[in-house]
Amino acid sequence: MSDGCGVSNPYAARQDLLQSPRTMATVVHAIVADKYGPNPEIYDWEPLTMCMELKADFQVDANPAVMDRWCAIQTLMSSDAFFTRIDAFLSICNTFSNGEPSFSAFSPVTLEEVAWGVAEAAMNRDMLPFSPTIREYVRLICRRNGYESGEFPPILDAVFDKKPKLSAVKEGLVHENNSAVLQRYLRDNAKDVQAQFDSLADLRNVDDQLLRKGLLRALDWNMLDKAQ
């Protein structure tokens, strides 16, 4: 893409994504990791520092939803809070889906938001066992959505496993036991992730967890289209 004067702008795709409230957390993570990583210190940067660095390097003001999703990624990557604290779990699930964090332990999340929060967590880091409090909360949400014990959406198997597996999350994204509403939500979000990554063909320093372990490769168009 050129700037109107015939000069190609190598950052055009990144600029568009950084300014869009719809850019997914995993894609924000990839942009940041590609520019400043691999460097675990980025997960400790103050939000204002990251915002200023992005503006200096990409000449744009990052959208507030992008920054909120980055802050959720920081919490996910730098601690076990997503897996052990109900307030962090709910806040991150809210932010991954809506771009707006909620810091109340009692702020409700939908079944779809929980499922997508677990999916994006698996795209970005190794999974850890979830605390009994989080398991019970997710169990309650499933029951309120008409699921009986033992028949919960497979995407949430990782919440109840003692040793959560990436493969279970991958398979759960397109499992036939998902309700139509849940499957549509997961499919649409997964397609957004893939489309956004497709616009960033020159990524170099993306963390191993994002690409080599195969979760994103599982989100191919044919597989997702079959799950309509």
The answer on pLDDT for 50 being more than 90 is yes
Amino acid 167: pLDDT: 73
Q: pLDDT of 73-126, one tens digit each? A: 999 999 999 999 999 999 999 999 987 665 544 567 999 999 999 999 988 888
pLDDT band of 223, cuts 50, 70, 90: very low
The torsion defined by the Cα of 167, 169, 173 and 176, in degrees rounded to 10, comes to 80
In a domain, 3, yes or no: no
In a domain, 1, yes or no: no
In a domain, 61, yes or no: yes
The answer on pLDDT for 46 being more than 80 is yes
Amino acid 57: pLDDT: 95
What is the Cα–Cα distance from 44 to 123, expressed in whole angstroms? Answer: 20
Count how many domains the chain has. Answer: 1
Give the domain range for residue 36.
Answer: 12-226
Q: pLDDT of 26-37, one tens digit each? A: 999 999 988 987
Q: pLDDT of 126-178, one tens digit each? A: 899 999 999 999 999 999 999 888 888 888 988 998 788 777 777 777 666 66
124 versus 69: the higher-pLDDT residue is 69
The answer to whether the beta carbons of residues 69 and 96 sit under 8 Å apart is yes
Amino acid 40: pLDDT: 85
Amino acid 92: pLDDT: 96
Q: pLDDT of 5-16, one tens digit each? A: 555 787 899 999
Amino acid 129: pLDDT: 95
In a domain, 188, yes or no: yes
In a domain, 7, yes or no: no
Angle of helix 64-78 versus helix 25-36 axis, rounded to 10: 80
- Cα 111-112-118 angle, rounded to 5 deg: 90
What is the Cα–Cα distance from 111 to 176, expressed in whole angstroms? Answer: 16
pLDDT band of 204, cuts 50, 70, 90: low
In a domain, 80, yes or no: yes
Q: pLDDT of 53-63, one tens digit each? A: 999 999 999 99
Task: State pTM to two decimals.
Answer: 0.86
> In 3-state terms, what secondary structure has residue 15?
helix
